[in-house]
Amino acid sequence: MQRRRLLIGAASASLATAARAQDFPAKPLRLVVPFTPGGTTDILAREIAAKLQVAFGQSCVVENRPGGGGTIGCEMVARSEPDGLTMLMGHIGTLAINPLVYPRHSYDPVKGWTPLAYVANVPNVLTVNPSVPATSVPELVAMAKARPGALAYGTGGTASASHLASAYFAYATGTEFLHVPYKGTAPFVSDLLGGQLQMGFTGAPVVMPLAKQGRLRALAVSSARRSEAFPELPTVAESGVAGFEADQWYGITGPAGIEPAIAARLNEEINKALASADVKARLEKEGGAPVLAPPEALGSHIANEIERWRPVVKAANIRLE
């Protein structure tokens, strides 16, 4: 009798959970971007939010919460109610690098999240201001070795994805550059356009339109293979920096404790958004590739990436308080 009651209770709870997932969401959604508007994270978030709004019949607001290299927005989401209504548009920097460079966290960098969807891989592009005479990676490396520290690169902030790619580039090539951190991608790209900076790595969606207009010069992509969208651009690795790979990847998480059925529902709709013709075309045009996978794929990827970047962060001595 006791076992029967337990089975009935479990079945009732399962049905209640399924019903909540079916009715989800009853309120507007919020997709937090832990950076200023205009960067790749923000661009992808707005594309997905627009699709979720249509799919769920509820508004999906993109909320920019910059600061602390993305930690402010991350902590806000990690502390929010695990009801599936508040999500984080995270990426390699916020989800894999920050746990390595900040000594203290208010949440577990792996167990503190409910993975919802692995969104996309987007190659970083190494670009220079047109005033820089280098037209290839070897020429840029030669310039840097001739004048150590004279060339300045910008990033979206200390320990950001663009900083890690740039630091890795300097480490792998034995060169020295001046790092100029900004509070987000947009202001650093603006100064790169204006000539206050000479170079930088950042996501293809931001810089490739500018390169095609001749306002920046793209030298190479950070991916292991050439981008189908920009086949004319060599990879950094084939340009003489063996083994170099520093793509940006993006994923959506929520606070720990979101019911699996609701996480699965969000995953289903986000994957539908990524598979839609317009979002897929936008990503592919800009060098990115959508990743359609279950929530657990993002969870394992986060854990693996933390370990992959650990020796790079240590070698570059990147620490934040």
Q: State whether 182 and 47 are in the same domain.
A: no
Please indicate whether residue 5 or residue 68 has the higher confidence score (pLDDT): 68
Q: State whether 153 and 230 are in the same domain.
A: yes
**318 — pLDDT class (breaks 50, 70, 90):** confident
**What is the average pLDDT across 208-227?**
94
Q: What is the DSSP annotation of 118-160?
A: EEEEE-EEEEE-TTS---SHHHHHHHHHHSTT-SEEEESSTTS
Q: Are strands 199-203 and 86-91 parallel, antiparallel or unpaired?
A: unpaired
294 falls within a domain = yes
Q: State whether 140 and 166 are in the same domain.
A: yes
Q: What would the two tokens of residue 241 be?
A: 């920096």
Distance CA 78, CA 72 (A): 10
CB 72 within 8 A of CB 41: no
Q: Sign of dihedral through CA atoms 264, 267, 273, 274? A: negative
295-306 pLDDT per residue, tens: 999 999 999 999
Res 288: pLDDT? 82
Q: The tokens 């508007």 sit on which residue?
A: 37
CB 220 within 8 A of CB 134: no
7 falls within a domain = no
Q: State whether 311 and 276 are in the same domain.
A: yes
Total of domains in the chain: 2
Res 93: pLDDT? 86
Q: What does the DSSP 8-state code read for residue 10?
A: H
| CATH number (domain holding residue 195) | 3.40.190.10
**What is the average pLDDT across 53-63?**
97
Work out the end-to-end distance of the chain between its first and last CA atoms, rounded to an integer number of angstroms.
57
Please indicate whether residue 17 or residue 117 has the higher confidence score (pLDDT): 117
Q: State whether 129 and 223 are in the same domain.
A: yes
Q: State whether 235 and 262 are in the same domain.
A: no
Res 86: pLDDT? 98
CB-neighbour burial class of residue 113 (10 A; exposed 0-12, middle 13-18, buried 19+): buried
**What is the average pLDDT across 111-119?**
97
**What is the average pLDDT across 271-281?**
93
Highest-confidence range of 29-33, 154-158, 221-225, by mean pLDDT? 29-33
22 pLDDT exceeds 90? Answer: no
203 falls within a domain = yes
122-151 pLDDT per residue, tens: 889 999 999 999 999 999 999 999 999 999
Res 230: pLDDT? 86
pTM comes to: 0.78
Range of the domain at 270: 28-122+248-316
Q: What does the DSSP 8-state code read for residue 195?
A: T
202 falls within a domain = yes
